[in-house]
Amino acid sequence: MAYLVRIASRAERDLELLYQQVSAADSLAARRWYEGLKRKVLSLSLHPNRSSVTPENNKLRHLLYGRKPHTYRVIYRVDERLKRVDVLHIRHGARRGFRSQDVA
């Protein structure tokens, strides 16, 4: 059964900022990379538990996308009861660990 993927407003802002940072509007390669990230996020609807639990919070998971040094973490939680994935935050993988207010 497929899960509903909901993207929180914080994650939407993260995506918008990332779109600007990689200049996806001006570069075909950057646009393909960005669209690949979005496809990967939406693929959580089929296998949401495939990714690791985050070291910061064992109730959250993180999906990694990209290659070093351009790896991004998609922070999300899975609600098994509602069959829903909540994408909370998207951040560069080299950043320090997040705090609870970073994903609220």
Domains plus CATH for the chain? 4-103 (3.30.2310.20)
Instruction: Write down the pLDDT at residue 102.
Output: 60
CA angle 38–63–94, rounded 5-degree value: 100
Residue type, 81: R
Pair type for strands 84-92 and 4-7:
parallel
Q: What is the mean pLDDT of the chain?
A: 88
pLDDT at res. 47? 93
Q: CA nearest 102: which of 92, 82, 83, 88?
A: 88
The C-alpha angle with vertex 42 and arms to 87 and 71, in degrees rounded to 5, equals 70
Task: Give the model's pLDDT for residue 67.
Answer: 85
Residue 96, CA distances (Å) to 40, 60, 73, 89, 92 in order: 23, 16, 11, 14, 9
Residue 104 pLDDT > 90: no
Per-residue pLDDT reduced to its tens digit, 76-99: 999 999 999 999 999 876 666 666
Q: Which residue has the higher pLDDT, 68 or 43?
A: 43
Residue 39 has pLDDT above 80, yes or no: yes
